[in-house]
Amino acid sequence: MQILSGKEVSQAQLEQVKEEGIKFNEQFGRFPCLAVILVGDNPASQSYVKSKHKACVRLGFGHKDYHLPDETTETELLRLIDQLNTDTTVDGILVQLPLPKGLDEEKVIEAIDPNKDVDGFHPMNTGKLLTGLDGFVSCTPSGVMAILRYYHIETSGKHAVIVGRSNIVGKPMAALLMKKGVDATVTICNSRTKDLASYTKTADILIAAIGKSEYITASMIKDGAVVIDVGINRVEDASRKRGYRVCGDVDYADCESKASAMTPVPGGVGLMTIAMLMENTLKGAKINVSKDNQ
């Protein structure tokens, strides 16, 4: 079985973005800049924000980090987004989700300038994705596509089954796989799907984005399937220093002997998400300077 290493692909991707960032700086006298807003003290969110900060530092990108208290009002958050929208030195704006109760995520996402929406969550960008127009694409599914391309995994005419229909993973994943040129035949499953295994067993490419630890087992996949595990779950483990281990939505050990290729967790799709965010920030910077020149 081939291991689809997110570590290898993300490193290659980051190197390429770094080089382009250097060229951007030579031409425009500054590096692309990402603004990240974190509201509250959710530990998982704090660790995601830290990784994004580290990636900016590694690439020499500019970064503006805003850590707002739990009790921040919607008006205050929207005012900050507005400031960043008009700040010409900021190319990408990311509001770390989930937001504390009382803050309307949809309203907050829609407040971000679609040209700086590096998460690709704004309805303008999700609409562009569906209609095949160029825009920002959600980082996790575009990271999955980068893995498939890197390892030359054929998608045309293949049956791709996605388990999960969230706005940030399942739906954009489906849109990317059904795109002209990618040409997979796509099935999307959800929690109400009856006899899930009868669908997953027909998948040439199976994408698990469920949020349930090791849910997909060998009996649910077809011989030779390509299995992409998007899940990141924490499972209590007293033998570990931190008290938990991280696993995916796929039972890796069980599926290993049946799949032809699989992404590990950790070391798989998760690393790609950050690499694609950096690529989107570079894209935002290019859009930003092209507006300046108009």
Ligand X SMILES: NC(=O)c1ccc[n+]([C@@H]2O[C@H](COP(=O)([O-])OP(=O)(O)OC[C@H]3O[C@@H](n4cnc5c(N)ncnc54)[C@H](OP(=O)(O)O)[C@@H]3O)[C@@H](O)[C@H]2O)c1
| Positions marked catalytic | 52, 96, 119
* DSSP character string of 193-236: -SSHHHHHTT-SEEEE---STT-B-GGGS-TT-EEEE---EEEE
Other beta carbons within 10 Å of 99 = 22
Q: Tell me the window of 20-28, 72-80, 123-131, 189-197 that interacts with ligand X (CB under 6 A).
A: 189-197
**Which residue, 114 or 270, has its beta carbon nearer to ligand X?**
270
Question: Which residue among 221, 230, 255, 259 contacts ligand X (CB under 6 A)?
Answer: 230
Tokens in use for 115?
């040209």
Figure out which of the listed residues 135, 211, 266, 267 binds ligand X, where binding follows CB under 6 A.
211
Position among 140, 200, 280, 281 found at the interface with ligand X (CB under 6 A): 140
Compare residues 179 and 212 and give the one whose CB is closer to ligand X: 212
Helical segments of the chain, H only: 6-28, 43-59, 74-86, 105-111, 123-131, 139-150, 170-177, 196-200, 252-255, 269-292
> Does residue 186 bind ligand X (CB under 6 A)?
no
- Compute the least distance from the CB of residue 13 to ligand X, in Å: 14
Altogether, the residues listed in the chain come to a count of: 294
The span of 74-82, 128-136, 161-169, 172-180 binding ligand X (CB under 6 A) equals 161-169
Q: Which is nearer to ligand X, 52 or 122 (CB)?
A: 52
Q: Residue type at 218?
A: A
Instruction: Give CA–CA dist 112/116, Å, rounded.
Output: 7
Nearest CA among 2, 273, 281, 261 for reference residue 146: 273
Q: Could you tell me if 265 and 231 are in contact, meaning their C-beta atoms sit under 8 angstroms apart?
A: yes
By beta carbon distance, the residue nearest ligand X is 166
190 binds ligand X (CB under 6 A): yes
- DSSP structure class, residue 97: S
The CA-atom distances, in angstroms, between 173 and each of 7, 124, 206, 216 are 20, 17, 11, 18
Least spacing, CB of residue 182 vs ligand X, in Å: 20
Asked if 159 interacts with ligand X (CB under 6 A), we say: no
Of 121-129, 146-154, 207-215, 281-289: span binding ligand X (CB under 6 A)? 207-215
Query: Which is closer to ligand X, CB of 7 or CB of 30?
Result: 7
Is omega for the bond preceding 98 within 30 degrees of 0, making it cis?
yes
Choices 34-42, 152-160, 175-183, 191-199; region in contact with ligand X by CB under 6 A:
191-199
Total residues at the site for ligand X (CB under 6 A)? 26
Q: Please identify which residue in 145, 148, 174, 210 interacts with ligand X, judged by CB under 6 A.
A: 210
Q: Return the amino acid letter for 230.
A: V
* Residues that bind ligand X in the complex, under the rule CB under 6 A: 140, 163-166, 168-170, 189-193, 196, 209-212, 230-233, 249, 269-270, 273
